[in-house]
Chains A and B, each alone.
Chain A
């Protein structure tokens, strides 16, 4: 630490010397001279110090981007961007996703990975929401024996719950463990109340289809199926942003069309701090992390 500080002090000195040299032209400068006071430009008598900043919620911007993408006539390239610096680890996205898709216990599409760095008292936390990466080269697709899961033209990796036989080969093949199996369990199971709560009997609209899950000798899909995040395809189709994006209290999750240079996500994924998980596997994830 002290070494770093002394180095910084040294650099500051050198830099100020060089800078002073540049400003002052040929005048000799003594090392260690007082830093120069910068004169502020004269301010207009009643005006603001800085020009008026325009603030727009990114959700509004993304909503506009989404409308444009849906109306442009060509197939959009859906991507998600997650700014890890803004994620506060509140799990609101996890919960809202579970509500949106009526997820039973044990099924989760977007858990927020928590990692502790250091030990108390020198400790901090790191958060990493993990939806399905909608990989461009998805290892979960070719393994399916019945072709019940495939890559759509817009990039989303879809599952047909009515074709999936529940072999779970795709679960073991996903390097991000983004797929979970519906064991047919319910939140009210083994609780003293009577029967299911109404929210357990509501249909789910994943993949734009209506499914009412039920455990039985022949279970009603998606019980007995592999399930995963769909980027809220059913919402996108109706011009709505994915539920996790709209619920993110830190505005840390972005969604949009990466083939549109005007879109927010396009600009974000072209930043140098955009990264993807396990790039070395060649899965080409469609979820980017800003670090």
Chain B
């Protein structure tokens, strides 16, 4: 099993590396999007990853801010996953830029009327906040590792300035206080930046499907659901000690995931039924095309079947009756197929022509309203995933993320 995991990792890493190199060698030439469908898989993947990050972070906030003690063991891990997903998101959207080398212009010459500028600034704040939260959550364990050699020892000495005496109750208490403050800043920040991503789309007048007040809300629930599901899957499958506490927490998380699936479905009903009900209007055709057009399976198979029906059945029939593995599987399905929802948020509006007949005006493969992600685009997304996984893995190996200890020690 373990060996297979590493083989899979190796294959994905090779694919990702190929995408990475191609991106630099050939720019955007191998990508499938064009000028009439200017955003594609990378933008969808980016909002997917950033949603995972916001969701995982808000889960940690349950512990640090709202004092849900029961979930305490997974809070530092949630921070690590949030950090890794943030990195995945930023890398993906960085690759999407036409001029990678100019990304820092957003800091040098921001235009704060632009939702995109807001987003970048809020991410930066959020990234810094994540790092400091992680620091205050973990530093109490570090003196124990100060004598070690290698990265762990080096980090332990660096971060605690060579301290060897363990942290006192009082100091730990103070750190908890700091964490509460940081988390309290973080919750509105996470809501702002992820709602902001929704607003980035929702504020665009030219795109009939995006231009809807429900978008920021949809993005937020999506974040909670996908991030929560990812954390649940990671916890169920990879938590080193599968004891009674693990069962309890898994059951709780499973119930949360189920509730969020249903709530998300309700919002989606609003998103689709309101513009479609009477069968007229610009959105009708575009949504109809999403449901029954050439890419119907993205909605029906990947989203509804694998992302809703199967997980809900798994949870109800097995998971919540004590088969913890089913909870993990259901959550894994939800987390992975959420990309389908993200794709269906970004692409359908774009493939809907804004001026009838424009496509016949000038023939070029970049000037069409058909879009399908190319292998190259997928490989770049794989690169981001591999990177995120690697970061998570390295962090749990070198830092006492799990129950205050390194992965090796608990396993």
Contact = CB atoms under 8 A, between A and B. Distances in A.
Question: What is the size category of the interface that chain A forms with chain B?
Answer: 35 or more
A39 B274 CA distance: 68
B103 A172 contact: no
Given A113-B358, A143-B115, A145-B114, A165 B367 contact: no
A147, A182, A184, most chain B CB atoms within 10 A: A147
Contacts of A177: 35-36, 354-355, 358
Contacts of A82: none
B27 A146 contact: no
A180 B38 CA distance: 8
Nearest to A225: B98
Interface string A148-168: 100000000000000111111
A106 B364 contact: yes
B278 interface: no
Contacts of A225: 98-99
Interface stretch (B6-14, B64-72, B202-210, B320-328): B202-210
A157 to B, nearest CB: 14
Nearest to A126: B357
Interface in B18-62: 24-25, 27-29, 34-36, 38-39
Contacts of B365: 106
B105 A165 contact: yes
B116 A143 contact: yes
Contacts, number: 162
Interface stretch (A3-11, A213-221, A255-263): A213-221
Contact of B105 (A128, A130, A146, A180): A146
A145 B111 contact: yes
A112 B363 CA distance: 11
A224 B36 contact: no
B361 A142 contact: no
A195 B364 CA distance: 21
Contact of B28 (A139, A171, A172, A183): A183
B93 to A, nearest CB: 8
Contacts of A105: 364, 366
B206 A113 contact: no
Contacts of A173: 204-207
B102 A165 contact: yes
Nearest to B100: A218
B115 A168 contact: no
Given A172-B38, A179-B35, A145 B361 contact: no
A108 B362 CA distance: 8
Contacts of A113: 355-358, 360-361
Contact of A163 (B101, B109, B114, B205): B109
Given A146-B110, A165-B99, A169-B114, A111 B358 contact: yes
Interface in A218-258: 218-219, 221, 223-226
A145 B117 contact: yes
Contact of A166 (B34, B97, B113, B115): B97
Interface of B: 24-25, 27-29, 34-36, 38-39, 96-103, 105-106, 109-111, 113-117, 120, 200, 203-207, 350, 354-358, 360-362, 364-367
23 contacts: A106-B364, A106-B367, A108-B367, A111-B361, A111-B362, A113-B361, A114-B357, A130-B361, A139-B204, A142-B111, A143-B204, A147-B111, A166-B97, A166-B102, A168-B98, A169-B116, A173-B207, A181-B98, A183-B28, A217-B24, A219-B98, A224-B27, A226-B98
